[in-house]
Amino acid sequence: MNDFFNVVRSYMLDYLPKQKCCSDNTIKSHKMALNLFIEFLRTEKSMKVNKIAFDKIDKQVILDFLEWLEEVRQCSPATRNHRLSILRTFLAYAGGLDCTQIALEIDVKKIPMKKHRQELTDYLPENALKTLFEQPNTRKLNGLRDRFFMTLTYDTAARCSEVLDLKICNLKIDTTNPVVYFLGKGNKMRVVPLMNKTVEHYKHYLKVFHPNADSSSHDLIFYVTRHGQRNRISNDAVEAFMMKYGKDARKICKDVPEKVHAHQLRHSRAVHFYRNGMPLALIGEYLGHVSLDSTKIYAYADAEMKRKAMEKIKDNVIDEPNPIPLWQNNEDMILKLSGLK
């Protein structure tokens, strides 16, 4: 391999997973971005794979790549910015290994992110959430499991994979303040409090699915049994039952989105926190965000928040409209009031 692919290899296999402790999903997104960049060099710049090298890459090549993403692959400005961010990180790593690449790193840093309209985060209003939670048939084992999964995911505002990875020993409920320990992105531990109602749901769930387990057990809380073995539930399986319950809930409540997925529970909890006055910094800590910028997507005023704010305005701030006199435009009444009739 040439120097370029040696750097790619150490970046993907050593730097991201071992030094930065990135999650599998983050590593996957970096891999996808670099694969797209190599595909661009091969198809648009006619470079053979074994000829790709840092000395053939400059600022203009990166700009052409970004334009290709938008015009040929029809990527959104947000996706374009994400790919650029990954290339910046990769070239900064390359510059740290070889000082001759620092100039390229600096040039690419000067490429601005494209401005785009911030999309409002996808969440469920409280009435839609309540309807969704009512859909699982809790008289059946899968229904009981699915409802508790949704309850726990919403209450903790956790990522789907974080909830599926939970073990019984990660929940501490026999204390004054019940909590759950999550291992989030970058293998960072965070502690999240549990509501009393969630604890009651959990105790009932344990009696059915883990009747003999103690609080120190390393058994997965959520599992499927195959060939007599308990295995982790897949993310795809969760998305399947979330979509099913979403369709059923939408028939009852039109505020339920057309597509319902597990991550909406996390978004919903964050939005509900914000609407009830929780500071963004605390929401970010609750969600396990490294940067407050990640939390700012929840800081927008929806229609209900605007309406409530308007209702708080004092009546005397806005003048009452002047009443229209009864005699105006009424010739007979004008004559009567003048004593002429």
pLDDT digits (tens, 9 = 90+) for 87-140: 999 999 999 999 888 999 999 999 999 886 655 567 899 999 999 999 999 999
Backbone dihedral region of 141: left (phi > 0), alpha (psi from -120 to 50 degrees) or beta?
Answer: alpha
Stretch 232-239: mean pLDDT: 94
- Nearest residue to 98 (alpha-carbon basis) of 18, 14, 31, 4: 4
**Helices 141-156 and 263-275: angle between axes, nearest 10 degrees:** 40
The least confident of 89-103, 141-155, 254-268, 275-289 is 275-289
The 10 Å Cβ neighbour count of residue 181 is 14
296 CB-near residues (< 8 Å, 6+ apart) = 280
- Nearest residue to 194 (alpha-carbon basis) of 172, 176, 179, 173: 179
Q: How confident is the model at residue 312, as a pLDDT?
A: 60
Strand order in the sheet with 171-172: 171-172, 179-183, 189-193
Which residue type sits at 104? L
CB 76 within 8 A of CB 126: no
User: Does 30 score more than 60 pLDDT?
Assistant: yes
Separation CA 71–CA 65 (nearest Å): 10
User: Does 15 score more than 90 pLDDT?
Assistant: yes
Kindly state the helix (H) or strand (E) to which residue 333 belongs, with its residue range.
Answer: helix 331-337
Secondary structure string (H, E, C) spanning 170-212? HEECCCCCCEEEEECHHHCEEEEECCHHHHHHHHHHHHHHCCC
Beta pairing class for 171-172 and 179-183: antiparallel
CB 232 within 8 A of CB 164: yes
Grade residue 287 by pLDDT with cuts at 50, 70 and 90.
Answer: confident
- The rounded Cα 132 to chain-centroid distance in angstroms is 19
CB 230 within 8 A of CB 224: yes
User: Does 22 score more than 90 pLDDT?
Assistant: no
Q: How confident is the model at residue 278, as a pLDDT?
A: 83
Of residues 185 and 144, the one with the higher pLDDT is 144
For residue 179, what are the β-bridge partners?
172, 193
User: Does 303 score more than 80 pLDDT?
Assistant: no
Greatest pairwise CA separation for the chain in angstroms: 108
Which residue type sits at 28? K
The 10 Å Cβ neighbour count of residue 12 is 15
Q: How confident is the model at residue 172, as a pLDDT?
A: 95
The 10 Å Cβ neighbour count of residue 170 is 16
Residue with token string 């407050």: 292
Separation CA 15–CA 24 (nearest Å): 13
CB 213 within 8 A of CB 232: no
User: Does 159 score more than 80 pLDDT?
Assistant: yes
The least confident of 16-30, 42-56, 67-81, 203-217 is 16-30
Stretch 58-87: mean pLDDT: 94
Structure tokens at 55: 């000395």
Grouping H, G, I as helix, E, B as strand and the rest as coil, residue 230 is: strand
